[in-house]
Structure 1
Amino acid sequence: MSKPLKIGVIAGEASGDVLGGGLLKELKRLYPDAQIEGIGGKHMIDNGLKSLADMNILSVMGLVEVLKHLPSLLKLRRFIVQHFLNNPPDIFIGIDAPDFNLPIEKKLKASGVKTVHYVSPTVWAWREKRIHKIAKATNLVLGIFPFESVSYEKYGYPYTFVGHTLADDIPIEVDKAAARKKLGLKDEQHVLAVLPGSRRKEIDSLLQIFLDTARLYNKTKPCCVLIPSANMMLHKKIESIVQAQSFDFDVQIYAKPARELMIAADLVLLTSGTASLEAMLCKRPMVVAYKMSALTYKMMQRLYIPKYFALPNILAEEQLVPEVLQEEVNPASLCQLLLEQLASMEQNIDKFISIHRTLQCNANEQAAQAVLSLVKQ
């Protein structure tokens, strides 16, 4: 390529930033002078992205919740579209965040820019007909889960399963002792990792419930609690909630990747999302919880198809880990489930390993090669 490869890319949250960071690292290895612009977080910025806006603006989830932020999201989207129409990239990659990215991809594709959507929207879970909109917006979808291909084959739309970068990064056997040593924890300590989410809304609705659960759990099983924060804004928020109360056990907040804390932990209490996949890859017993607005929940009851919402259960097509929603997300229920998981810690390890191997496909390399093949067409 005689001129530098120009890449447009947008990720909307922490999990997308991890995927984007891995993809950009590989693209920069192959094309060191590549020019990369868009929106992303630390992982993507560290691998060459010039970010045009703060990624946290996009970290909104829920049918109702998005409406509150709609004016600012629409304004940002208009700015991004105009920017890339004025400065067309060789390829545009939207990473997850389909409600934000797909309309951008559609306009750019119509203008002649090749477009990729990385992480299939959940057409397998609800609103399958969205796949027609995806086809109009993209030249290719890169998927991270093997079961997604069925939906695309059904409609004959281009899809490539690349695996998940987390499955490549995390070894099949993790080193708990080394992780504890790195964090200054003793081998004999009983450690509970608490992950309240990577969005402000999740922390508002779940952190206090998780802390109250830890209080109950500590009465039966004395423990140390570790809490990661996705960024400094969330770190300060978590810190303010924790420091406003007292505990009769140790609570430590880390501005570190959640993975390090999960590997060091005996047990994990977490918010549903990519964190549950990461906990599974770390081979840790867990309880997965989620709360959403009452209206969003009612709408999802009508629209959502799968039996499960926690990723380990969806991937296994059976309930490997407890998953709890809405009113059931309370300290008494969560504490009981944690104690039950502790009593049966080893029962799912072989299944966790099997799923890990399925997702371990050199995702960064596969995704980069798929993107470059499209550029060269």
Structure 2
Amino acid sequence: MQGSPRIALVAGETSGDLLAGLLLGGLRARWPGLASMGIGGPRMAQQGFDAWWDSERLAVHGFSPELLWRLAGIVRIRSQLRARLLAQRPDVFIGVDAPDFNLGLEARLRGAGIKTAHFVCPSIWAWRPERVEKIRAAADHVLCLFPFEPELLARHGIAASYVGHPLASLIPMAPDRAAARAALGLSPDAPVLAVLPGSRRAEVAHLASVFFQAAAHVQQALPAMQIVVPAVPALHQGLRRIAQRTGMAGRITLVPGRSHEVLAACDLTLIASGTATLEAALFKRPMVIAYRVHPLSYRLMRPRQLQPWVGLPNILCQDFVVPELLQDAATPRALADALLQWLHTPERVDALQQRFTALHESLRRDTARLAADAIGGLLA
């Protein structure tokens, strides 16, 4: 194509903003004059993105009351966004994850003759396989994070490219624990537990109190344990209140953002299921994965699960390499016991780090360039 393209993107939540920011970096390296607009967050803004709405507006959680309360607003945003994109007609639209929001929007734009791509293959290999029909209708091309996905999509007639996971290039193969502890003001000698109860308000509402109580049990068994909680800035005050309510206000360190530094600094982590578990695996940290959702959401989702694993490290390794404690099983005592097991079995930690190193190597690609090449193919 002549000149620099105009690319519209929609990224929901913190993880989508991170992925889209890295993608925009690759696109801007290829087209320095690129114009980008849509829905995004601060990492996208750093790449010159024009955010018509903030990605936080799309952050909801399962079939919770919060979803019902916010649904009308989300539908209104999507309607307004669709009308604006149809009027301005970008050269390509890229939906970054958020399939419930993006796939329907992509299908409407594609039907109107706008090229579309979807970045992050929806996890049809884990649950909701019926989404494959929506993907086929929505996307001219899918950018896949995991190496087995393009072949799976090809069997359904969907064009796709494996671009690697951008986090695998962003995170060093051998993280510097000492430097991270110094940067965070932590003791270099005492052990560190990272507590990550999620990046969405409803996740924090379901998990933070349980996680903080579990951390209290760990600290009771190991008084020298340093507990660090990286908090999405918008959730920082809510986490502070939960810490006070659970008696942990003076016993944990709340850090606005900086989750990668916290994962680099820690010895192990208690973590909500999601993209952050893959980040912890790339930092080669032992972890306990937990998740709680609204009971109705759990009852609806559980029968549709296609694999025995929920956490990404276990799915990618095709094994229970780290514990998963879900819903009623995620009690403070059970979580604490699972965390302490890692500290009592260093040989198990060594074996896990070898598995995670192999996983890291398999996911490390020049994601920004490969993704830009695929988008360039759509624009040719």
Task: State if a TM-score over 0.5 links the two structures.
Answer: yes
Percent identity, aligned pairs only? Answer: 38
Counterpart position of 1:369: 373
Judge conservation of contact 1:164–1:361 (CA < 8 Å) in 2.
yes
Return the offset for 1:151.
2.4
Return the offset for 1:249.
6.1
Judge conservation of contact 1:117–1:138 (CA < 8 Å) in 2.
yes
Tell me how large the CA RMSD over aligned residues is.
Answer: 1.4
- Residue of structure 2 aligned with 1:224, choices 216, 223, 226: 226
Counterpart position of 2:258: 257
Counterpart position of 1:18: 18
Q: How many residues align?
A: 375
Judge conservation of contact 1:285–1:342 (CA < 8 Å) in 2.
no
Matched, 1:348 2:347: no
CA distance in 1, matches of 2:330, 2:96: 30
Return the letter of the residue paired with 1:15: S
**Partner of 2:79: helix, strand, or coil?**
helix
1:5-59 alpha-carbon deviations (Å, 9 max, x no partner): 1000000111111110001011112212111101111111111110011211111
Matched, 1:189 2:190: yes
Q: Which runs of structure 2 are paired with 1:1-377 in the superposition (5 Å)?
A: 1-64=1-64, 66-222=67-223, 223-230=225-232, 232-244=233-245, 246-247=247-248, 250-344=251-345, 345-376=349-380
CA distance in 2, matches of 1:343, 1:267: 12
**Partner of 1:146: helix, strand, or coil?**
coil
CA distance in 2, matches of 1:97, 1:247: 34
CA distance in 1, matches of 2:22, 2:118: 15
CA distance in 1, matches of 2:141, 2:340: 44
Unmatched tracts of structure 2, length 5 or more: none
CA distance in 1, matches of 2:153, 2:201: 34
Return the offset for 1:255.
1.3
CA distance in 1, matches of 2:246, 2:158: 53
Judge conservation of contact 2:136–2:157 (CA < 8 Å) in 1.
no
Return the offset for 1:312.
0.5
Return the offset for 1:248.
8.7
Judge conservation of contact 1:192–1:267 (CA < 8 Å) in 2.
yes
Judge conservation of contact 2:9–2:94 (CA < 8 Å) in 1.
yes
TM-score of the two chains, using structure 1 as the length reference: 0.96
TM-score of the two chains, using structure 2 as the length reference: 0.95
Return the letter of the residue paired with 1:355: L
Return the offset for 1:68.
3.6
Q: Name segments (4+ residues, structure 1) moved above 6 Å.
A: none
**Partner of 1:306: helix, strand, or coil?**
coil
CA distance in 2, matches of 1:297, 1:239: 27
CA distance in 2, matches of 1:124, 1:247: 39
Unmatched tracts of structure 1, length 5 or more: none
